[in-house]
Amino acid sequence: SDPDLVARAEKAKAALGDRLFVLGHHYQRDEVIRFADVTGDSFKLAREAAARPEAEFIVFCGVHFMAESADILTSAAQRVVLPDLAAGCSMADMATFDQVEEAWDVLAEIGVADVTVPVTYMNSSADIKAFCGRNGGAVCTSSNARRALTWAFDEGPDGPAGKGAGDRKVLFLPDQHLGRNTAVLEMGFSLDDCVVYNPHRPGGGLTAEQIRNAKVILWRGHCSVHGRFSTGCVDDVRARIPGVNVLVHPECRHEVVTKADHVGSTEYIIKMIDEAPAGSAWAVGTELNLVKRLAARHPDKTITFLDRTVCYCSTMNRIDLPHLVWALESLAEGQVVNQITVDPDTAHWARVALDRMLALP
């Protein structure tokens, strides 16, 4: 990366000192992540943001929903900055508040809203998190989805004997793959226990009977980056590299995760590779910046991308060094740019849902 920009980022960061805290998601570019004070998956970053009351400015090198969560979890005086406002997440955009309200009305008409606990993946807008908070639900991330779903089924907002005890359902937003992979591969539900609610069809494209019989109602959302990995990729890499370990993110499709050897969040993926013995071979199904970094860090291991084609998350990649330098220099000059703020009512209820997640055992 441009040495002049690197020097400017270093200078602005030094000028801000302890007033600044920079968080970096594992999918960020090398040129950006080197400036992060802490790197992590979305769960770890949410906890880190909440644990920095002394930082006046939190610069979030990640995507919009992560910065919103940081704003919700920090105090009113702290400012959260996203270096490029166009860094969204296409999966989060697949569930809008109006669509989710409409789906809830459909469940109410059928008479099952009372026994349904809404759980949203972190990758969702603050108003979807707030919807879950208001309706007795929680947030989860890819590192605690099983615990969150177990909580939803066994405990729920009013304890084991509360809402719909014994006959409870979960509405899982917005990633159908994380929901299905968790329910079926980690919790013993069958594929038939899951239905997919399509927000673009009347009634979600489901009959009342299908909804009544389901245990897990999956929202029809997905990640276009992880959706590109196919079972063909797994077969292909196993043929090319005998003995390879296939390690994927749970946003991958169910049939891909079923064929893989290991599945987990970005933090889990890093831990697996860091702890793997020298000489072992790994094919990793997640965003390419992270896979390339892992390969560079472990020259004694064979680390390859699961797909033969290139696959970056284009919105994560929008945070580049020029944007970071602009954000840091602006802060150092006393100007807060690209601040992410969530309105107080939404923040209150989103926090209820986030706190339920943070309290999981």
| Site residues (CB under 6 A) for ligand SF4, limited to 27-86 | 63
According to the binding rule CB under 6 A, does residue 41 interact with ligand 13P? Answer: yes
d(CA 123, CA 313) in angstroms, rounded, equals 14
Name the CA radius of gyration of the chain, rounded: 21
Residue 289 near ligand 13P by CB under 6 A:
no
Q: What is the C-alpha separation between 27 and 337, in angstroms, rounded?
A: 23
Is 313 labelled as part of a ligand binding site? Answer: yes
Give the C-alpha separation, 43 to 28, whole Å.
16
Subset of residues 191 to 250 that bind ligand SF4, contact rule: CB under 6 A: 223, 225
Q: Which is nearer to ligand 13P, 68 or 251 (CB)?
A: 251
- 233 assigned binding-site residue: no
Task: Rule CB under 6 A: say whether 182 interacts with ligand 13P.
Answer: no
Query: 238-277 mask for ligand 13P (x: CB under 6 A)?
Result: -------------x-------------xx-----------
Min CB(208)–ligand SF4 separation in Å: 31
Report, in Å, the least distance between residue 123 CB and ligand 13P: 5
User: What, of ligand SF4, ligand 13P, none, does residue 69 touch, CB below 5 to 8 Å by kind?
Assistant: none
Contact 83, 59 (CB under 8 A): yes
- 42 near ligand 13P, rule: CB under 6 A: yes
Strands 169-173 and 116-121, by their bridges, are: parallel
Beta-carbon contacts of 116 under 8 Å, excluding residues fewer than 6 positions away, are 107, 164, 168, 169, 170, 171, 217
**C-alpha 62 chain-centroid distance:** 11
- Beta carbons within 8 Å of 230's beta carbon, 6+ residues apart: 253, 256
Report the interface residues with ligand 13P, using CB under 6 A.
Answer: 26, 41-43, 123, 141-142, 223, 251, 265-266
Report the interface residues with ligand SF4, using CB under 6 A.
Answer: 63, 89-91, 123, 223, 225, 251, 287, 313, 315-316
